[in-house]
Amino acid sequence: MSDRKNSLRVLLLGVLFGFAITACGGEDDIFTPDGAPDITAAALFEEANNAMRKEDYVTSVKLFTRLKEDYPFSSYIIEAELSLADSYYRDGEWLSAVEAYKEFESMHPRHEAMPYVLYQIGMGNLQTYTSVDHPPTLVLEAQSYFTRLRDSFPGHEYALRAVLQIKTCRQILAEYEVYTGDFYFRTGNYYAAWLRYVKVVGEYPEIRNLWSYADNRRHLAYFLHMKDSTEARRRLREDTWHNWFDWL
C-alpha cells in the first residue's frame, strides 16, 4: 500500500514539475522534442531588427515572417507585423509591402500607427507607377488612401504629407488623360479624344498647363469630330441614292 502511495506522489510531483517548466518558459519560448528551448521570440525579434539596421531586408523579412508564424501570441507580434511591411517597402517590394500594410490595417484598425500605415499604403501604390503610357490604376488607389488619411486624421504629420502626395497623384492622372487623348487624336478617333480633354478640363483645373492644353485641344477635337460626322452623313446619303438608282 505504501509503494502505491509513493508511486502516486512521484507521478504528482512529475506533473507539477512539468507545469513549472512550462510556466517558466512563457509564451515567448518554444521547446524542441528533446526539451531544449528553441530561439525565443525576443531573440528572434532582435535578430530581425539587427538585419533591418544592416539593410539586409531579405533576412529581416524571413525572420519577421518566422516570428509571426512561430509566435502568433507573442508580445512582439504587432511590432513584427509592421516591421515586416517596412522591410518589404525598404527593399522596393512595393506590392508585398502594400499587402502587408493592408493586413496590419485589417488586424489593428485602431492602432496608433494607423496614419503611418495609410500613408505607406498610398506610397507603396504610388511607387509602382513607371510611365505615362501605363494605366495608373494603383495611382488611383494611392490617391484614395491619401485622401482617407487627410480626412480621417486632419492636422497629423502624415496627413499633411498626404496632401502633397494627392497633388502628385492628380498630376499623374491628368497627364495620363492628356496622353490618352493625344493618342486618340493622332489615330483619328476625335470623339474619344474630345472626351479625354473634357475630363481634364472638368476635373483638373488646378493643373494650369495641362488644363490650358486640354481646353484648346477639346475644341479642335470636337470640330474634327463634327466634320467627320457631317462627311459621313453626306456619304451615307450619296450611297443611298446610288443604291436606289442601281435598283431601278
CA contacts within 13 A on the Cβ side of 24: 7
pLDDT tens sequence across 100-128? 999 999 999 999 999 999 999 999 999 99
Would residue 76 count as lying in a domain?
Answer: yes
Q: Which residues pair with 31 in a beta bridge?
A: 37
pLDDT band, residue 156 (cuts 50/70/90) = very high
Would residue 42 count as lying in a domain?
Answer: yes
Residue 119 to residue 38: CA distance in whole angstroms: 37
6, three cell numbers: 509513493
Given a cut of 60, whether residue 245 has pLDDT beyond it is: no
Residue 235 pLDDT:
60
Q: What percent of the chain has pLDDT over 70?
A: 77
Q: Which is more confidently placed, 230 or 244?
A: 230
- Averaged pLDDT for residues 56-85: 97
Torsion region of 156: left, alpha or beta (phi above 0 gives left; psi -120 to 50 gives alpha): beta
Average pLDDT, the chain: 85
CATH assignment at residue 70:
1.25.40
Residue 48 to residue 77: CA distance in whole angstroms: 12
Asked if 210 and 178 touch (Cβ cutoff 8 Å), the reply is: yes
Q: Domain residues for 93? A: 36-101
Would residue 57 count as lying in a domain?
Answer: yes
Residue 228 pLDDT:
86
Would residue 87 count as lying in a domain?
Answer: yes
CB atoms within 10 A of CB 158: 20
82, three cell numbers: 509592421
pLDDT band, residue 28 (cuts 50/70/90) = very low
Residue 39 pLDDT:
76
Per the structure, the count of domains in the chain is 1
Would residue 7 count as lying in a domain?
Answer: no
Residue 25 pLDDT:
42
Would residue 20 count as lying in a domain?
Answer: no
